[in-house]
Structure 1
Amino acid sequence: MSVDVMIEAVLPSDMKNRRYTAFEHLFYGYTTQQFIHLFIDYRSAVQLANKDYPYSLVSEPGAMGNHIIVRLKGSLTDEDSMRHVEEVHRLAVQRPGMRGVGQTWSMGNFKGYQVQIAAEDLECVPTAYMIDYVEEDTVVTFDWQNRSYVTTRHGTTWNLDRISHRESRASSGEYKCYHTGGQGVKIYVLDSGIKMDHEEFKYRARWGANFVEGSPDTDKKGHGSHCAAIAAGKTYGVANRAKIIAVKVMGPEPGREDRSIDVTTRKRLPEKHSHETMVTALISGINWAYGDAGCTRDRSVITMSLSLHYDKAINEAVAAATKGGMTICVSAGNHRTNRVTKSPASARSAITVGAPDFHDRIVWCSNYGPGVDIFAPGVAILSAGIEHDSQIMEKNGTSMAAPHVAGIAACYIERYKISGPAVKDMIIATATRDRIINPKGSPNRIAYNNSGF
């Protein structure tokens, strides 16, 4: 719609019979008060007519057509945001096959929603000027190497030894930590869920939320339970007194074979059910954790061991949650690249974690470079399985590295009474330095729990 047409709509009938410039329209026959009101309408019309809405979407791999993520302007009030969402929903449900607005999000100045609608239809909404940008919903994947083996071995845990000693002691299996173990701190595990009755979690874990449509409130993959027990498991966890909250944002990945094998029988474990996981679920998980933490955000940690292409909305959701006081730890990714260009690993306020092996060498699959904040063990990590309540499994990847740092963050928050950016600063300041043999341009830091050994 042109500016002239929009101005014509606010003019009295006697002025519509001849052509005026917009400037003449404003002055002709109006009192001062009428002029002021008309000027406001004119200014809004110009802004709306000249607005460059970002409706030319780039389809990333895994994108689902007509599943749209909308980021609203941060300056909007809650009332304005709700009015816009209601308008979009009314329009969307009138379109054949469209389900309308799904999840909505609000974290400080981060406001947005997910909707099933053609992107160009958003231009028909009167409050379209409230939109900051839009993007297509896409698939999120785990940051782990899909080579997991079941074991009944309850021996040494070299990874816990490594983060509690300055020197590498791969064969020692001695974990030094303060006895309080992150007590009173919440760790939100945004992943495939948690096996709540596992011995590693009893009495300290609770089910939070499930954003994977059609998926049960449990862990059918094993990834989330494994990560949760690394962060805060009774035996295999860094912060073994922290509270654990399951936020399911991932199901078993579609189109991928599960390679978990029982090392005793050498039989492949039963195939898991498949569920697609989208950006919407991840943002919804962050938003839910932010709301659930409430006044305890400064004593709350989020750990996410997953990734997708660079996504502005996810990174801004991370920024909003950390600005609100939460600490967020994310895996660097398993793409063997020296650039951390994925999300949420590229979110600046998060703690991005790469993975070294027993000998302090960067794991072959781990991302590296200046975008990685710190390294933590990511090879042959023992932690909780899901086949029974005492199963222990071994997994690899940067997925396993991130929850180590989440556990350290919980311990630091509890022990030193710090919060917000100070947690990331302290984790970096206390890290073991110059031990990575092949840093490849990365900051040469290995996570350390400041045990004094």
Structure 2
Amino acid sequence: MEKTEVTKLNNSHRKTIILLLVVLFSILSLTLPQTPTNQQLPVILTVTSSMSQPKGNLLSKIDYRLQSMMDEEDPNQKVEMIVVFQGVSSTRGAELLKSLGDITVLETYSIISGALIEAPLGMAINIAPQNYVKSITYNYKVKIHSTLHTLQATATTYSANIEQIGATRLHQLGINGTGIKVAVLDTGINTHEALPATKIIYSKSLVPGEGIEDLNGHGTHVAGIIAGYCEGKYVGVAPGALLLNIKILNKNGEGNLSGLVDGINEAVSQGANVISISAGALINKPDDPACQAANNAMLAGVVVVAAAGNEGPDSGTVNAPGEAALAICVGAVTSSNVIPDFSSRGPTPDNRVGVTILAPGVNIVSLDYSNSSGYVRMSGTSQATPHVSGVVALLLSNMSLTPSTVKAALMATAVDLGDDPYAQGCGLVNASAAYDLLSSGKPPVAISPPRFELTSFGSELSVTVNFTIVGGLARDDYLSNVSIKVEGGISSLITLSSTGPFNLNDTHVFVAATIYVPSYYMAPFFSGSIKLVNGDGTVIASVTIQGTGPTMFLLLYLLSQETSSFYVTVAEVIFVCLVAGVALIVSLAVRYRRRHAPPKEEGFMP
């Protein structure tokens, strides 16, 4: 038989298969239960404790840790809580609290309108109804985000991680972070041959019973990545930067929420330009007091860079304060740009991507706290974070920039690694490209995630993602009239919470998009884009969206192809399995009915 006849025969068989599959799908769609329309893909599904769900208007102000403790422990037990106020100052709120009974105010904060108190556990029920109280949070533990400690290393003047993020070129241009104050909220900082005392311009310990020195090693390692320098031996990302040593973690690398909030408060009050936080806790609450403090610091003109955490590869594991909506949240990559399993992933509970950007965080060489001429390796998002803090210092030392401008520039110029946006954010930080963009004088604009891919594994699909849109500072009204335009096949499947126009000048805007692919959507694939359009009609940023429709229609498409391919073969195999499965079910059903059919009644024929 000739080849053309074989091809015709194969195509004829394929068309027969398609017809049978259409009939089969029609039957299945009528008999099988439909997937709920609010189903989300596993990649963006956040699993939280049932205790995190408010039990009512009263308890909605009390965080789930306190609720759990109230259910299981002695209500007279004294605990520390942070109370956030609304409509009153911290001082006035503290005074009102004391009038409620057995409450001791330990500290008040200016970075958030709130206070740290000690009170019987059951007192939370009396505090919550007060109209000046916004939230009550247990003073939970925070910890460092390093997974590997004290592996001895030999320092090299320009290690690969500095070149990996594009900082080497800026050093060659004479940009080294001179004069920029970076607050390191950590275990303390010890002096070193690469970190003389003159570089540490301020020190304060917020850890009870411990001084300003580093008894753990984590803080000194982080500080070295930011600003270390020893000629011919070691260079950090921003060797000209100055450091504020704000100790919030003890010798075990642990601390409390109160110390984290107090540390951010202290950094702002001491005039820090950048706050680097390589610690936190898995909270899944973007309005947590630590997140509020980070957001308010950004609004006060201080760039906050925080670690994503080391709870990966599970989704929904971004730590506070990294999950703060305005902060720069940093995940880790290896020297070969692979995201390690430990790096935390999004999304956040409010459906944002969570991770902003990536930086080197595996086997990073920096300073040994116990040996002033020694160097060690550590790994973690703790090590990735100071890389970005150093890049921010480089950029700030060369030009006057607002926090939103810096964040937008880093997002817009990051190297897309092609990985899951919930793991990589916008991609690998690129100091050189960010510098070039900012030097052009054009205000940066970025949107995250920059791309989005969906796969429908069931009969229908519904997914919500909260896009983060960041605009830099424009000297005129350039970004004062920005709107959103949806193009392509996705336009009939997407619903936006708003299309603008927005004033994107030096600010953040969050737009929720719900993508719904119904079971009757006939196309095997869908694609399109979300575009940010400026008032003059120019496109200033965009997101590409693509995905596959319901599985059955994708199989139909593959089986209809004239050419043979791996995917067509897979489709045919799936088809055979489906037919065999249905045949088996029908056969079993017939046998069951025969076995359990009632006996025929015997009687007289009329």
| Structure 1 Cα separation of the partners of residues 391 and 269 of structure 2 | 23
Higher strand share: 2
Whether 2:294 is the aligned partner of 1:318: answer: yes
Instruction: Give 1:372's aligned residue.
Output: 355
Instruction: Give 1:104's aligned residue.
Output: 108
Whether 2:88 is the aligned partner of 1:76: answer: yes
With structure 2 as the length reference, what TM-score do the two structures score? Answer: 0.54
Counterpart of 1:59, as a letter, is R
Per the alignment, do residues 245 and 441 of structure 1 end up closer, same or farther by CA in structure 2, a change over 3 Å counting? closer
Task: For residue 151 of structure 1, report the CA deviation from its aligned partner.
Answer: 2.9
Instruction: Give 2:80's aligned residue.
Output: 67
| Structure 1 Cα separation of the partners of residues 60 and 186 of structure 2 | 31
Alignment of 1:207-286 (within 5 A): 207-234=202-229, 235-253=234-252, 276-286=254-264
Instruction: Give 1:354's aligned residue.
Output: 331
With structure 1 as the length reference, what TM-score do the two structures score? Answer: 0.71
Whether 2:263 is the aligned partner of 1:307: answer: no
Instruction: Give 1:395's aligned residue.
Output: 378
| Structure 2 Cα separation of the partners of residues 345 and 353 of structure 1 | 8
Per the alignment, do residues 345 and 440 of structure 1 end up closer, same or farther by CA in structure 2, a change over 3 Å counting? closer
Per the alignment, do residues 57 and 397 of structure 1 end up closer, same or farther by CA in structure 2, a change over 3 Å counting? closer
Aligned to 2:390, the other structure's residue is in SS state helix
Task: For residue 243 of structure 1, report the CA deviation from its aligned partner.
Answer: 1.0
Instruction: Give 2:316's aligned residue.
Output: 339
Aligned to 2:244, the other structure's residue is in SS state strand
Confirm or deny: 8 A CA contact 2:355 2:422 kept in the other structure.
Answer: no
Task: For residue 341 of structure 1, report the CA deviation from its aligned partner.
Answer: 3.7
Indicate the RMSD between aligned Cα atoms, in angstroms: 3.1
Aligned to 2:135, the other structure's residue is in SS state strand
Confirm or deny: 8 A CA contact 1:164 1:176 kept in the other structure.
Answer: no
Per the alignment, do residues 180 and 441 of structure 1 end up closer, same or farther by CA in structure 2, a change over 3 Å counting? closer
Instruction: Give 2:454's aligned residue.
Output: none
Counterpart of 1:121, as a letter, is M
Deviates more, 1:334-343 or 1:135-144: 334-343
| Structure 2 Cα separation of the partners of residues 62 and 54 of structure 1 | 13
Aligned to 2:213, the other structure's residue is in SS state coil
Alignment of 1:428-443 (within 5 A): 428-431=411-414, 433-435=415-417, 442-443=424-425
| Structure 2 Cα separation of the partners of residues 208 and 180 of structure 1 | 26
Counterpart of 2:259, as a letter, is A
Confirm or deny: 8 A CA contact 1:66 1:116 kept in the other structure.
Answer: yes
Whether 2:188 is the aligned partner of 1:184: answer: no
One of 305, 311, 320 as aligned partner of 1:329: 305
Whether 2:145 is the aligned partner of 1:140: answer: no
Counterpart of 2:110, as a letter, is S
Instruction: Give 1:203's aligned residue.
Output: 198
Per the alignment, do residues 77 and 101 of structure 1 end up closer, same or farther by CA in structure 2, a change over 3 Å counting? closer
Aligned to 1:277, the other structure's residue is in SS state strand
Per the alignment, do residues 208 and 87 of structure 1 end up closer, same or farther by CA in structure 2, a change over 3 Å counting? farther
- Gap regions ≥5 residues in structure 2: 1-55, 70-76, 347-352, 437-606
> Higher relative contact order by CA 8 Å / sep ≥ 6: 1 or 2?
1
| Structure 1 Cα separation of the partners of residues 107 and 264 of structure 2 | 12
Confirm or deny: 8 A CA contact 2:360 2:383 kept in the other structure.
Answer: yes
Instruction: Give 1:13's aligned residue.
Output: none
Deviations 1:176-212 (A, max 9, x none): 5542311121100001110035532431113432111
Per the alignment, do residues 375 and 78 of structure 1 end up closer, same or farther by CA in structure 2, a change over 3 Å counting? closer
Aligned to 2:235, the other structure's residue is in SS state coil
Instruction: Give 1:409's aligned residue.
Output: 392
Task: For residue 78 of structure 1, report the CA deviation from its aligned partner.
Answer: 5.5
| Structure 2 Cα separation of the partners of residues 156 and 321 of structure 1 | 32
| Structure 1 Cα separation of the partners of residues 308 and 216 of structure 2 | 21
Answer with 1 or 2: which has the greater Rg. 2
Confirm or deny: 8 A CA contact 2:305 2:328 kept in the other structure.
Answer: yes
Per the alignment, do residues 87 and 390 of structure 1 end up closer, same or farther by CA in structure 2, a change over 3 Å counting? farther
Counterpart of 1:383, as a letter, is S
Deviations 1:86-142 (A, max 9, x none): 547x833xxxxxxx22222112xx211111112433666899432211111111111
Aligned to 1:70, the other structure's residue is in SS state strand
| Structure 2 Cα separation of the partners of residues 377 and 62 of structure 1 | 38
Aligned to 2:198, the other structure's residue is in SS state coil
Counterpart of 1:81, as a letter, is G
Task: For residue 174 of structure 1, report the CA deviation from its aligned partner.
Answer: 8.6
Aligned to 2:333, the other structure's residue is in SS state coil
Per the alignment, do residues 396 and 78 of structure 1 end up closer, same or farther by CA in structure 2, a change over 3 Å counting? closer
Confirm or deny: 8 A CA contact 1:356 1:376 kept in the other structure.
Answer: yes
Aligned to 1:76, the other structure's residue is in SS state coil
Instruction: Give 1:421's aligned residue.
Output: 404
